[in-house]
Amino acid sequence: MKPNTYTKLYAHCVFTPKGKSSLLTDSIRDRVHKYVYGIIKEKKCYPVAINGTKDHIHILVGFGPTTNISDLVRDIKRSSAMFINQEVRSYIRFSWQEGYGAFTVGYRELDHIYKYILNQEEHHREKNSEMNIFKSSMIMGLILITIIYLNSMMRIDVTAQRL
């Protein structure tokens, strides 16, 4: 890289455990995040935010122009999976899914993505709450439609008996 090169490159990476299982429990998640932080630093990149839930991890990382994101994610996944398997003695062998999501982040969006990543538990709690309300509304709607249908069928039956 030339001595007068200046870049500000950021990526938002997301990936999940294989089978999307909920193996990133509260008891291990913080240690995994700290371990991932160390991997990113070792690769001469800049960890901005690392967080997630039981079934996925978000990483906001700054990187230089010579960094290959797919190599960085591969190294993070490989090393962190080995770390998790050493830390959590389980009959289930932990591994990450094969794919991942990586999205470039502009300097203006950095603060928004940073807050989004740090508030993952809240974001998913609200999302689940909204989904539960939606499901309840759908069920109530189906019940109402069923009642209306049955009521109309009873009227037809009563009318037929009168004839």
The average pLDDT across 92-110 equals 89
- Residue scoring higher pLDDT (148 or 80): 80
Q: Check whether 68 has a pLDDT greater than 80.
A: yes
The average pLDDT across 30-54 equals 94
For the domain 9-118, what is the CATH code?
3.30.70.1290
The average pLDDT across 111-130 equals 71
pLDDT one-digit tens code per residue, 8-37: 899 999 999 987 666 788 888 899 999 999
Q: What's the confidence (pLDDT) of residue 24? A: 81
Q: What's the confidence (pLDDT) of residue 161? A: 56
CA angle 11, 56, 42 (to 5 degrees): 50
Q: What is the pTM of this model?
A: 0.72
**How far is Cα 110 from Cα 118, in angstroms, rounded to an integer?**
12
- Residue scoring higher pLDDT (110 or 54): 110
Confidence at 128, pLDDT banded by 50, 70, 90: very low
The average pLDDT across 73-93 equals 88
The average pLDDT across 150-162 equals 58
Q: Check whether 148 has a pLDDT greater than 70.
A: no
**How far is Cα 8 from Cα 62, in angstroms, rounded to an integer?**
7
Angle between helices 110-118 and 120-162 (to 10 degrees): 70
